Amino acid sequence: MSITVHIDGQPTEQSPEYRRVLAQLGPLPDESGLLYRIWTSAPQGEPTAHSVWLNPASSAAAQEWLDHGGAVLDCSTDFGASVDRLRQGEAAVTVRSRSQAPLSPHMLAAFLTHDFPLVDALMLARAYRDKGWPADLADYPVPVAGPASDASFAEFPRNAGLYAVVPTSEWVGRLAELQVPVVQLRDKRADRAKRAVAIREAVQAVGGTNTLLFINDDWQSAIQHGAYGVHLGQEDIDAADLGAIREAGLRLGISTHGIYEMLRAHACRPSYIAMGAIYATTTKSMPTAPQGLRRLEHYVRLMSPHYPLVAIGGIDQSRIDDIWAAGVDCAAVLRAIVDAADYGQATADLLATTPPITAAAGVV
């Protein structure tokens, strides 16, 4: 069954605008029967997690709708641009669009039908220019009051290849010996002193090798011990001192789980953007459903002209060729190496899948 969207209680299939946009977007995903409801006037019935009220009549009515599990989208015009404020549960998103055109609920419905979460469907609907999938980053809304950098971070090489995420400095040393091009130390111990020791040891372990070492989250220790770069999640970029990281010369990678988070990352002007989880993963609890190859291909068309891209989440030997075919610069793996019966052979097999680097591939 496909995803269904109703606007003010009526199926969107009755809308010529909706049908026109869907025709440009191409085949629909094979998904299981979600029903979204978009209300442009007073809603009927109880809200659900897939009910959104556009421009509610009053703040009190909006709050009641939110309290019962619905979403609220307030659209206004400010200084010649559209400002959208999306609230859903505890999440609140504000973006400024490139024009002051009103939001079309039928266009929003078209991207919901393609199984994008509400916040990402909003970004796509605002960027849409009547010519298929919006692939020009300049057309997308700009997040308001989020983290930002006033200059770009140091460059990370295009087509760097295999990117291993490992839990200890010992693993960093093993993979540096095997010439893995990029390794991230993801040490999640609460004891910061022990983490700092592990980071120092990891930096020492890659010394004299060609392995590029990123440190997950602990940007202070990464600066202190001279790591190549730091990798931050969405929550971390709100708290980290981006200026200090940039001025220290470290590269910055940022995790994203959809288009809105990519726009937040873009405002920080990082060295690379990581996109995931592409497949289901047990490594960590994910805030979104798996992205899949279809979305990954859209993300590559949108972001690859601007940043090196890392795909992450559930990637193993059986899936990595599809990841390379999508056009990313790095394929990130964890369990495929760390949990392997023979990590050396598993690493060699994964390294062997890396496409050859050519000048046409955009190497820097």
Instruction: Note the pLDDT tens digit of each residue in 336-346.
Output: 999 999 999 99
More confident residue, 98 or 87: 87
Which range has the top average pLDDT, 74-83, 90-99, 152-161? Answer: 152-161
Q: Note the pLDDT tens digit of each residue in 193-215.
A: 999 999 999 999 999 999 999 99
Neighbours of 235 (CB within 10 A): 11
Task: Report, as an integer, the average pLDDT of 257-281.
Answer: 97
Residue 21 parent element (H or E): helix 16-25
Task: Report, as an integer, the average pLDDT of 327-342.
Answer: 98
Q: How confident is the model at residue 363 (pLDDT cuts 50, 70, 90)?
A: very low
- Residue 1 above 60 pLDDT? no
Cα radius of gyration (the chain): 22
More confident residue, 64 or 79: 64
- Residue 361 above 50 pLDDT? no
Neighbours of 80 (CB within 10 A): 7
161-361 architecture in CATH?
Answer: Alpha-Beta Barrel (3.20)
Minimum mean pLDDT range among 84-98, 333-347, 348-362:
348-362
Least Cα distance to 334 among 131, 90, 188, 163 occurs for 163
Query: Tokens 């809603």 sit at which residue?
Result: 43
Q: Note the pLDDT tens digit of each residue in 163-204.
A: 999 999 999 999 999 999 999 999 999 999 999 999 999 999
Neighbours of 166 (CB within 10 A): 24
Residues of the chain with CATH 3.20.20.70: 161-361
Within 26-113, residue ranges assigned H as helices are 59-67, 105-113
